[in-house]
Structure 1
Amino acid sequence: MTMHQLIASPFLGDYLVVRPGFPNGMKIPRDKYLSLTQTTPDATCPAWLAKAALESWGLDIADRPLARTLLVRSESSFGFGRASYELNLGCNYDCEHCYLGLKRFEGLSWPDRERLLHILRDAGVLWLQLTGGEPMIDRLFSEVYQLAGELGMLCTILSNGSRLSSPKMLDLLTSRRPHRITLSVYGATAESYDGLTRRKGAFRMFIKGLYSAHEAGLPLALSMIVTERNAHEVDQMKALADSLGIPMDEYVNMVPTIYGGAETLPSQSAAHLRKRRPFTGCNAGHTFFHVDPHGMASICKVGRDPQISLMDEGVDGLRDLTTIADGLVLRQGGCTGCALSGTCGTCMPLVTLYRKAKAPLATYCQHKERRETTT
């Protein structure tokens, strides 16, 4: 199927026109959105859209057939705008800090993935994060990525970058540009990078993929993962991002595995343990949700229980997520009635994982000393 150059879509009460592979978009009034839904197949682009496309992206669509230029997405009765889809838990690295724990190569068949992507589209999802494991080593990554785009979803890919230098992968991503590719950075030298990932040659593959994608003009961002092993290279990792003009975020707080395992916690750099901002709620389960490799939907990557089987219940199953989300964020167990919970920086689903991991209270409770005094 030929990729459309523009997408008109409802998004959380607004109406947007976006261009796949480009960061900017524009908000349009509802009447203009409705006018786009009512055009005939042989209609040409309206003057206002042609002008806006030229000003926003330098895209000349004047007098072009609208049906071959613009995909108009239908309104959804669901309130979701974003989702993440874990294609597979499998990975070609074995990182010391990885929150996934067991990295099983399991996932849906193509017919089920195809159905799942239609469910995500019908739920209203405009921005879709493709993650793993390592999504680019999944056997059906190309098919998932292409269909998501054809259905009018803007894809962000979370990757370790090891496959980005592949000519086949570069051809796919340059011909159908993603919204963004976010690469994890595990060190600035082979010693720390390969040590953290427990894969010899991993740093070489990352650097090759990073430079290949940058030279291809792909939209990149970096996530610096700071651990005990690579903390001495923070400045070097920042310098790498600066040298390429790529934005970088820092992630310094290690968390238990999704099964409540504690094996990830020793990788924490004590000097970089950061006080979290007060948790005042989030959009998980309300405007955002997560889907695992088996088509099980949850409010987010952390709060995975209870789950909803989208393969069994379809898009209507998502109607229960809001109630699930509201229940999961309520303070429970030892946090019930805590007089300091209003300034706590850890959400309850994450607290639950820390408790399963039997982590020290100071790891996730910023009020440890004050709580003991209060008690």
Structure 2
Amino acid sequence: MHQLIAAPYADHHLLVRPGSPRAARLPLRRYEELRTPASSVAPAWLADAARLAWDMELSEQAVNEIVLVRNHSPYGYGRASYELNLGCNYDCEHCYLGLKQFSGLDWPDRERLLHVVRDAGVLWFQLTGGEPMIDKFFPETYELAYELGMLVKILTNGSRLATARNLALLTRLRPNRITLSLYGATADAYDGLTRRRGAYRMFLKGLDAAHEAGLPLDLALIITRHNAHEADQMRAFADRYALPYREYTHMSPTIYGGAETLATQAPNHLADREPFRGCNAGHTFFHVDPHGMASICKVGRDDAIPLMTTGVEGLSRLGGVADSLMLRTGGCTGCQLSGTCRVCRPLAKVYQEAEAPLDRYCQHSTTRS
């Protein structure tokens, strides 16, 4: 299995190592040299780069056994996310997935989908759900994505991290990052939010096993009305493990248009969003749902493209979809303050369709005319 990946990314080339956040800029001539090596032995410059970036000593293996060289893609997508399944072993009432149905692609179609993602140029690939590790094809999906030369990030509740098969797989083929959601600092708060007795115990078991294995971890602190009283304890929990974390306080309507999730917000903990300045959703990034439908992101799911029938060529339409979804229409038409709006148009549309109170998503709710 490869130790390094050489890949086009945006308008340049990178040398990356699975399991490491570091990357080295690769001149075009060096990238081309790796594509068609003059000899089977790793060149001296590659050994120097590996030593400098990762303190890594290359063995006497052939260069094509050390480096996986990714081909150029005409589609130019560097990142993507994939919901393996909407099913979950928790029942959090704040979850934007709503129904959490267990359904998705069979293995032959999923295998084809992963090749489509690779052919789109994706280097950073996020596996999510639902809970991805309870999906019956999670190990096969993860391993194939890794073999195809993608740096894999996993979003998980951690409840299945300690299982022997998953831990062995992730230790052998290291992910780029594992982000665990933290739903409370005590069993009472954690189990209460997830509505699953023993969930906190499973989370700790998974976190401890992954931490001991030296896997790259960080935490997502989910702060709702159920656990807001433990916010400081949750931060202290992350500090005890010396793990980086981000806090999430804004709950979104469900992907089916339900507003029931909004009641879980802790109003005193809502953090101000930065003004929205645009993003590359649909242009250099895309999202795939469990049935192979590609959209610009997890929020903007309108006009999704069926990759199982269109193949990678279908992604050529996604940029136009993104541009149309980013237009400020509907409930935002005529707003004179849209230049400082803190939510993107697709997210505002989700709130509006759920008939959410304006103050749930618009910082101008008290000044809008």
Name the CA distance, whole Å, in 2 between partners of 1:208 and 1:150: 28
Alpha-carbon distance, 1:78 to partner: 0.9
1:195 aligned to 2:192?
Answer: yes
Name the CA distance, whole Å, in 1 between partners of 2:345 and 2:55: 46
Q: Indicate if the aligned counterparts of 2:193 and 2:226 stay in contact, CA closer than 8 A.
A: yes
Q: Indicate if the aligned counterparts of 2:93 and 2:193 stay in contact, CA closer than 8 A.
A: yes
Deviations 1:42-96 (A, max 9, x none): 6111110011112222222254301111100001111210000000000000101
Name the CA distance, whole Å, in 2 between partners of 1:326 and 1:248: 32
Aligned to 2:20: 22
State, as a whole percentage, how many aligned pairs show the same letter.
Answer: 63
For residues 184-333 of structure 1, the aligned pairs below 5 Å read: 184-333=181-330
Higher mean alpha-carbon deviation, 98-107 vs 272-281, is at 272-281
Higher mean alpha-carbon deviation, 64-73 vs 176-185, is at 64-73
Aligned residue identity for 2:300:
G
1:366 aligned to 2:343?
Answer: no
1:92 alignment partner, one of 77, 89, 92 = 89
Secondary structure of residue in 1 paired with 2:260: coil
Aligned to 2:120: 123
Name the CA distance, whole Å, in 1 between partners of 2:270 and 2:194: 21
1:181 alignment partner, one of 154, 178, 181 = 178
Alpha-carbon distance, 1:278 to partner: 1.0
Aligned to 1:153: 150
Aligned residue identity for 1:7:
I
Q: Indicate if the aligned counterparts of 2:134 and 2:160 stay in contact, CA closer than 8 A.
A: yes
TM-score (norm 1): 0.97
Alpha-carbon distance, 1:303 to partner: 0.3
Alpha-carbon distance, 1:116 to partner: 0.5
Aligned to 2:132: 135
Aligned residue identity for 2:41:
T
Q: Indicate if the aligned counterparts of 1:128 and 1:155 stay in contact, CA closer than 8 A.
A: yes
Q: How many residues align?
A: 369
Query: What are structure 1's unaligned runs of at least 5 residues?
Result: none
Q: Indicate if the aligned counterparts of 1:10 and 1:75 stay in contact, CA closer than 8 A.
A: yes
Aligned residue identity for 1:161:
G
Name the CA distance, whole Å, in 2 between partners of 1:254 and 1:179: 27
Name the CA distance, whole Å, in 2 between partners of 1:221 and 1:273: 21
2:141 alignment partner, one of 121, 144, 158 = 144
Deviations 1:219-278 (A, max 9, x none): 000000000010010111111111111101000111100111011111000101222211
Query: What are structure 2's unaligned runs of at least 5 residues?
Result: none
Q: Indicate if the aligned counterparts of 1:260 and 1:355 stay in contact, CA closer than 8 A.
A: no
1:9 aligned to 2:7?
Answer: yes
Alpha-carbon distance, 1:129 to partner: 0.2
Higher mean alpha-carbon deviation, 215-224 vs 347-356, is at 347-356
Q: Indicate if the aligned counterparts of 1:259 and 1:353 stay in contact, CA closer than 8 A.
A: no
Name the CA distance, whole Å, in 2 between partners of 1:62 and 1:193: 46
Alpha-carbon distance, 1:208 to partner: 1.0
1:50 aligned to 2:47?
Answer: yes
Aligned to 1:32: 30
Q: Indicate if the aligned counterparts of 2:331 and 2:352 stay in contact, CA closer than 8 A.
A: no
Aligned to 1:352: 349
Name the CA distance, whole Å, in 1 between partners of 2:157 and 2:12: 34
Aligned residue identity for 1:36:
L
TM-score (norm 2): 0.98
Name the CA distance, whole Å, in 1 between partners of 2:139 and 2:312: 24
Q: Give the 4+ runs in structure 1 shifted more than 2 A.
A: none
Name the CA distance, whole Å, in 2 between partners of 1:61 and 1:217: 21
